[in-house]
Amino acid sequence: MKLTILRGELNEAIQHVSKAVASRTTIPILSGIKIDATYSGVTLTASDTDISIQSFIPLETQSKTVATVTRTGSVVLAAKFFVEIVKKLPNEEVHIEVGDRFQTLITSGATEIQLVGLDPEEFPVLPSIQEDQVVSIAGDLLRDMIRQTVFAVTTNESTPILTGVLWNLQEGTYKFVATDRHRLASRSATVAATDVRFSNIVISGKTLNELAKIVPDQNVLVDIVVADNQVLFKLGNVLFFSRMLDGTYPDTSKIIPQQFKTELVINTKALSDSIDRAYLLSREEKTNIVRLVTLEEGGIEISSSSSELGKVTEQLSVKEMRGEPLRIAFNSKYMLDVLKVIDSEELLIGFNGAMSPIIIRPNDHDRSLHLILPYRTTN
């Protein structure tokens, strides 16, 4: 392998794939980045076996020559050093030449780097995915859907299936659900009419966080290809492969109440600010318990207390209040997580007494729905 490539483009591709480099592994090859040079372009690949990312650098763009391949070939280089050094090379042009036993010479300006390369044959082979089940979604929307659900996955590895987000696609409606058994977040969206349908696909929350970082800011379409136990996301020249989580996701549809004994319509920011203040005190008690009480004279009272520090109490006006009076306690951190991802100005909260799930959703659409279980306190 022998090639010349522009540092900026090489660095960009490295940044993309480096998110899939195994950080703690006993298998040296997984801590590397594979470079494949052909006469059509240069491909970088990294894989920790759960996720794999591939970035293709074409030899030319409309405006300039990006890379020149003099001899095709492949090599795997230790990511940790390679990622850092390419950023700091002195010259815009970088030459890479692989010699005997994958010894790799990188030169740029007066800098000469000899690197121990690894055998690309040992690198994991990426899954081959048949592209007959493709659905396209706007990158912004995909990122929003991830952001509005992924915070509710569990971090507890004893229920591995709940560390992922459930994806369903039925009749053009895409739906994401996440729950850790104390709360639930769901988000749906309509995608362009398509024959594709799938159900019970579960993708790791960590993977989705990495994916969200890689989705470009420009609002481009992301192609999603679903195969046996793999999902492939195509983002222009970047391919992002993820394994699905094994197991059956619990049926959450039955726990969501359709009617409420008490309903509040309230300004999202006012409620968020108020609960944030109560949370500050509640977290000193490690419980995060905040109380919400409806007031006879209208409005609600939000409060929390700490035996050591004191008490926060505040009254909040609501836009609408329907149904029975209420006194309920909940985890304020969970509530803040929800309020952070609701983009609408007003939200609706529904209750069925102090012991039943709390439902929160935007007041202007029903594409988002959040559930929090209350604390069962005695006072």
Which residues are near a copy of itself by CB under 8 A?
A: 78, 80-81, 84-85, 88-90, 104, 109-116, 273-274, 276-277, 280-281, 284, 308-316
Residues with Cβ within 8 Å of 301's Cβ and at least 6 positions away in sequence, in order, are 291, 292, 293, 295, 313, 314, 315, 316
Describe the crossing of helices 79-87 and 7-18 by its angle, rounded to 10 degrees: 140
Nearest residue (CB) to a copy of itself, 26 versus 253: 26
- Cα(134)–Cα(130) distance, integer angstroms: 9
Minimum Å gap between C-beta 322 and a copy of itself is 22
- How far is it, in rounded angstroms, from Cα 43 to Cα 302? 56
Integer Rg of the chain from CA: 26
Q: Which residues pair with 34 in a beta bridge?
A: 45, 76
Which tokens sit at 286? 């490690």
Give min distance, CB of 355 to a copy of itself, in A: 28
Please identify, using beta-carbon distances, which residue of 166 and 281 lies nearer to a copy of itself.
281
Query: Cβ closer to a copy of itself: 37 or 278?
Result: 278
CB 163 to a copy of itself: min, Å: 31
CB of 26 to a copy of itself, least distance (A): 15
Q: Which is nearer to a copy of itself, 223 or 284 (CB)?
A: 284
Minimum distance of a copy of itself from residue 72's CB (angstroms) = 23
Is residue 94 within 8 Å of residue 4, measured between CB atoms? Answer: yes
* 44 versus 77: smaller Cβ distance to a copy of itself: 77
Report the SS3 class of residue 180: coil
The nearest distance, CB 319 to a copy of itself, in angstroms, is 16
Using the minimum distance from each CB to a copy of itself, give the nearer residue, 102 or 123.
102
3-class DSSP assignment, residue 10: helix
What are residue 187's DSSP bridge partners?
176, 368
Residue 11 and residue 144: Cα distance in Å, rounded?
A: 27
